[in-house]
C-alpha cells in the first residue's frame, strides 16, 4: 500500500484491473489468477522490500560455487536485498519502483539471469512453504482494499525501511484512506 500510495498511477491501474475481474463482487480464487497488474506490483514490491533481507544456507556436500570449491559444512549468507537491487541483474533502474519489469514474468525481468535471482521467499528446496498462500492472501487483501478505498501517504510519513531480519518501515506506514 505504501508503494501504491507513492505511485498513484499503479494504484489506478490495479483498481481498474480488479474492477474488470471482480466488479464489486467478492474476490475469488479463479479471478485472482487473472490479476496480471496486481501480480506485477506484488513482485516489484517483494523485489524492492523482500520478506527477508538475507538467508543462511549450509553446504551439505562439497559444492562448486563459481570458481570456488566449498567443503561440506560451510555456511553461506545470501544477501537477498543486495541481489534484488543489483543493476547487473535488474538494470540501472534497479532501485526504482517499476512493476512493468515483470510484465513478461519473473524469468524475463532479470536481464537473462533467470528466475533464481528473485527470491523474496528464499529459493530451492528450502523455499518458504507458505509462499503460495502469502501471495493469494496479498492479492485478496489488495483487491478488497482497492475495491472500496483509495489511499495516499500521510504528510507525516518518512520512507525509512529498516533492515533487520525483515524490512519493516522504521517509523511505521501512515496512510490516508478514502472511501470510493
Residue-wise pLDDT tens digits, 1-60: 999 999 999 999 999 999 999 999 999 999 999 999 999 999 999 999 998 899 999 999
Task: Return d(Cα 106, Cα 7) in angstroms, integer.
Answer: 21
Residue whose C-alpha cell reads 506485477 in the numeric block = 40
Task: Find how far residue 29's CA is from the centre of its chain.
Answer: 20
Task: Find how far residue 24's CA is from the centre of its chain.
Answer: 26
The confidence score (pLDDT) of residue 115 equals 86
Task: Return d(Cα 46, Cα 59) in angstroms, integer.
Answer: 26
Per-residue burial over 51-78, b if 16 or more Cβ lie within 10 Å, else e, is bbbebeeeeeeeeeeeeeeeeeeeeeee
Residue whose C-alpha cell reads 551439505 in the numeric block = 60
Task: Return d(Cα 37, Cα 27) in angstroms, integer.
Answer: 15
The confidence score (pLDDT) of residue 111 equals 82
What three-state secondary structure class fits 27?
coil
Tell me the average pLDDT across 96-117: 92
Torsion of CA 117, 123, 124, 125, to 10 degrees: 180
- For residue 2, list its beta bridge partners: none
DSSP label at residue 26: P
Tell me the per-residue pLDDT of 160-173, one tens digit each, with 9 for 90 and over.
Answer: 888 877 788 888 89
Tell me the average pLDDT across 129-148: 96
The confidence score (pLDDT) of residue 74 equals 95
Residue whose C-alpha cell reads 510484465 in the numeric block = 103
**Structure confidence at residue 103 as a pLDDT band (50, 70, 90):** very high
Task: Return d(Cα 74, Cα 63) in angstroms, integer.
Answer: 9
Tell me the average pLDDT across 75-82: 94
The confidence score (pLDDT) of residue 168 equals 82
Residue whose C-alpha cell reads 501504491 in the numeric block = 4
- Asked if the model's pLDDT at residue 98 lies above 90, the reply is yes
Provide the whole-model pTM: 0.91
Amino acid at each position: 500500500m505504501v508503494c501504491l500510495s507513492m505511485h498513484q498511477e499503479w494504484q489506478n491501474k490495479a483498481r481498474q484491473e480488479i474492477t474488470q475481474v471482480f466488479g464489486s463482487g467478492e474476490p475469488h480464487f479463479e479471478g485472482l489468477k487473472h490479476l496480471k497488474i496486481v501480480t506485477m506490483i506484488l513482485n516489484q514490491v517483494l523485489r524492492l522490500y523482500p520478506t527477508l533481507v538475507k538467508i543462511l544456507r549450509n553446504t551439505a556436500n562439497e559444492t562448486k560455487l563459481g570458481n570456488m570449491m566449498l567443503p561440506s559444512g560451510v555456511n553461506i549468507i545470501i544477501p537477498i536485498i543486495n541481489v534484488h537491487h543489483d543493476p547487473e541483474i535488474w538494470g540501472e533502474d534497479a532501485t526504482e519502483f517499476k512493476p512493468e519489469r515483470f510484465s513478461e514474468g519473473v524469468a524475463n525481468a532479470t536481464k537473462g539471469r533467470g528466475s533464481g535471482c528473485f527470491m523474496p521467499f528464499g529459493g530451492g528446496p528450502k523455499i518458504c512453504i507458505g509462499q503460495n498462500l502469502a501471495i493469494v492472501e496479498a492479492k485478496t487483501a489488495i483487491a478488497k482494499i482497492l475495491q472500496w478505498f483509495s489511499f495516499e501517504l500521510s504528510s507525516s510519513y518518512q520512507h525509512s525501511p529498516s533492515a533487520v531480519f525483515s524490512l519493516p518501515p522504521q517509523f511505521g506506514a501512515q496512510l490516508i484512506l478514502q472511501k470510493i
